[in-house]
Structures are given as C-alpha cells and as structure tokens.
Amino acid sequence: MTLDINRIRQDFPILDREVRPGVPLVYLDSTATAQKPVAVLSAMDDFYRRSNANIHRGVHTLAEEATTLYEQAREAIAKFINAASPRQVIYTRNTTESINLVAYSWARANLKSGDLVILTEMEHHSNLVPWHILSAERGIRLEFIPVTPDGLLDLAEYAKLLEQNPKLVSFTHMSNVLGTINPAAEIIRLAHAAGAVTLLDGAQSVPHFKVDVQALDVDFLAFSAHKMVGPTGIGVLYGKMALLEAMPPFLGGGDMIKEVKLRSFRPNDLPYKFEAGTPAIAEAVGFGAACSYLSSVGMEAIAAHEHEITQYALERLEEIPGLKLFGPAADKKGGVAAFTFDGVHPHDVAQILDSVGVAIRAGHHCAQPLHEKFNIQATSRASFYLYSTKSEVDALVEGLYKVKEYFG
C-alpha cells in the first residue's frame, strides 16, 4: 500500500501556509511536533461547540456526551497500541509525565538503595532526569547501554549489565536524534529473563510505525499525542494491569478517589486512580481522532513512506561537501536526519533555512549526553512524517547549499 501524498497533504491546512509572502512552508520538524489534520481539528472544535462539559460529574446531556467522548477516545488509543483493556491506558500531559508517573509511583514503591536501573546513552532528558532525581533521593544505581559509533545500542554490553540483576530497564524505542530504531522486543525479552520490569519511551515510535504492547510484552509504554498528529498537552502511560493495580496514586485530588474522609481516603479504580482533577477533555477527544486518522491511513503505509523519504534524504544530504550525518543507515532508523555543517553553528543553519521557508530543529534536542558522546554541542535535525515529500527534501538541500554559499 502506498500513500496518496497529495490527498494526505490536503488533510493538513497548515501545509498550504506561506511563512512570508512568496515563501511556502516546508515543514521538516515533525519529530518535535507533528502538524494536525482537519479530522483532529474538527473533532476538538465540535466538542467545544456542542458537548463542552466536565466529565464523570454530571447527569445532564452535555456531561454525559463529554464523558462518552472522553472514554471513546481512550478506547481508540487502547486499540491503536493493542492494549488488552482501555483501563490500562492512563491519560497524562505528555511522555515526560508518563515516565515521571512510573518513577514517582512504581519506582518509589519498589526500588531501594543499591537497586540498578539500566538506561541508554541515547535517552531523551525525559528518561534521564527522573532517574537522576530518584538516584539522589534513594541511592539507586544507574548504568547505561553504550551507543556504538554508528549509532546503535551495544547489546553485548547490555548482556553484561543484565548480569547485575537490574530492577528496571527503561529505554527509547527510537532515538529523537539519531533516528535509531532499537530492537525493543529483544531488549524487553532479555530484561524479563533477568527479572527486570521494562519501560519503553514510545514518543518517537508510536506515531511512525505499528507498536503492539502485547506483542512486545512491555510493562510500561509512554507516548504523546502531539507527535502523532494529535493535540499538545496530553499523553498516555500504558501499563500491565497487575503493575498499575499495585501502584500507589501519583497525584491526589478530585476524581482519583472512591471515598474521602477527614482522616483517610480510598483511591478510585483504574484508570481513574492516576487521573486527578479535571483532565484535558478536548485534547483527549483530539487524541482519539488522531489514532483513528492514522489507522485509516495505515501505519504500515506510513512507515514505508517515511523510509522512502528518509533514504532519499540521506542520499541527497551525503552529496553536500562539509556535511556530516549522524546515526545508522536508513534501514535501521526512522524519519530523522541529524547533521553538522563544517564551520557553521546549527542555529545559523536553521535560521538561514527558515529564510527560505524550511523549518528544521537545531540544538541538543534534549539529549545532551548523546551529543557529548559524539563530541559535539549541537546538531541540525530534519525530520519527516506521512505528509513529507521528496520535493521538500530537495528544498532542504537547496537551502543547505545557500548556507554553504553564505558562509563561504
């Protein structure tokens, strides 16, 4: 199945925008946040126009409609990742909060001084800082699977780390810098054999290819709506039922309780135990619409299209003198091309590209340790999605030649 790219692009109104008169937008920053299709925008607009009310707290028509839409979205998300039950889908603000939920609830209830948590050298700060905080607080040990020079995880070193009886293995499914798609099923299987719980950062994987939590046998999965054509401000933590049932609440307040007395309380059932206060209702509706939209397009077709665009982009970028690419070959990575340009700071690269309408990212991409691993402070990063085209890659390359010309 191939994508009808012209039809797909018509679903995204922002792609018709000119960033200034006569300069059309070339959006190559989907790894940071994806653009939104009409289906998502309309679902959220319709909610606010027709059904806006608080959920779980009223019997009037609007409250019941809002509750139904909110829970239907949860069902759509559960189906998207093949969760056995919608009760395993916990709404959070984003991937970061989902990882923190595990760190503050599961980890603080189960880890003690000296316990080992295995991470990797390619983690986003969201999967580093919560464990640094816990290490300082509890004295847990952190060890890291090394990244090889070609941007892959060193699984031989991982095997050695597993001999130290870790309690948790937490890692990214796909690097937001290198684009590396890690062998999650194998990493999880080996972790379980060593007696460890697993947490998968799916922020970059769930939007781009099929992620099946039951096939992976992962214990926790964290991801965000805004990277998968949904709204900002909402994410998900998936967890195995037994783990979620045993975990204490993360935040206290309304809706996460079954009973409250002056001197005690009883937490609510799953998933509400972890959803304190008025949630992001419209955003949940948009999240469900995003899952439905991506499913209608087809995740296999999206992955195949991105692979074709990425392969083309890497070939074109390799033509440019003085440009250095980071990460593995196209067959081992997702739609990301991170690079440096001899003698030109990534921010200058991004600024000149913006002058010709090309939007990329520049900086350390919330992955400073990974950049230190490669002895660089920052990279420029172009990233691709279902609406990206080869002509946009050509515009990127043309813009990079302007950068080269400008800086001599």
Rounded to 5 degrees, φ, ψ at 105 are -95, -65
Is the Cα dihedral 120, 122, 126, 129 positive or negative? positive
Question: pTM for the whole thing?
Answer: 0.97
Long-range pairs of 128-136 with CB within 8 A, sequence gap ≥ 24: 128/369, 130/99, 130/100, 130/103, 130/104, 131/103, 131/170, 133/103, 134/103, 134/107, 134/108
% pLDDT > 90, the chain: 96
pLDDT over 80 at 389, yes or no: yes
CATH number for the domain formed by residue range(s) 41-296: 3.40.640.10
CATH number for the domain formed by residue range(s) 5-30+298-406: 3.90.1150.10
The pLDDT tens digits of the residues spanning 169-192 come to: 999 999 999 999 999 999 999 999
CA pair distance 208, 348, nearest whole angstrom: 29
Contact present, 382 and 313 (Cβ < 8 Å): yes
User: Do 41-296 and 5-30+298-406 fall under one CATH topology?
Assistant: no
Per domain, the residue ranges of the chain are: 5-30+298-406, 41-296
% pLDDT > 70, the chain: 100
Token digits of residue 274: 């972890």
A 10 A CB-CB count for 76 gives: 20
Is 366 catalytic? The answer is: yes
Per DSSP, the three-state class of 68 is helix
The pLDDT tens digits of the residues spanning 38-57 come to: 999 999 999 999 999 999 87
Contact present, 228 and 318 (Cβ < 8 Å): no
pLDDT over 80 at 243, yes or no: yes
CA pair distance 53, 332, nearest whole angstrom: 46
Output the average pLDDT for the chain: 97
**What string of DSSP letters covers 2-40?**
---HHHHHHT-GGGG-EEETTEE-EE-BTTT-----HHH
pLDDT of residue 60: 95
pLDDT over 70 at 1, yes or no: no
pLDDT of residue 177: 96
pLDDT of residue 57: 77
Q: Which listed residue (366, 374, 376, 397) is catalytic?
A: 366
The pLDDT tens digits of the residues spanning 305-361 come to: 999 999 999 999 999 999 999 999 999 999 999 999 999 999 999 999 999 999 999
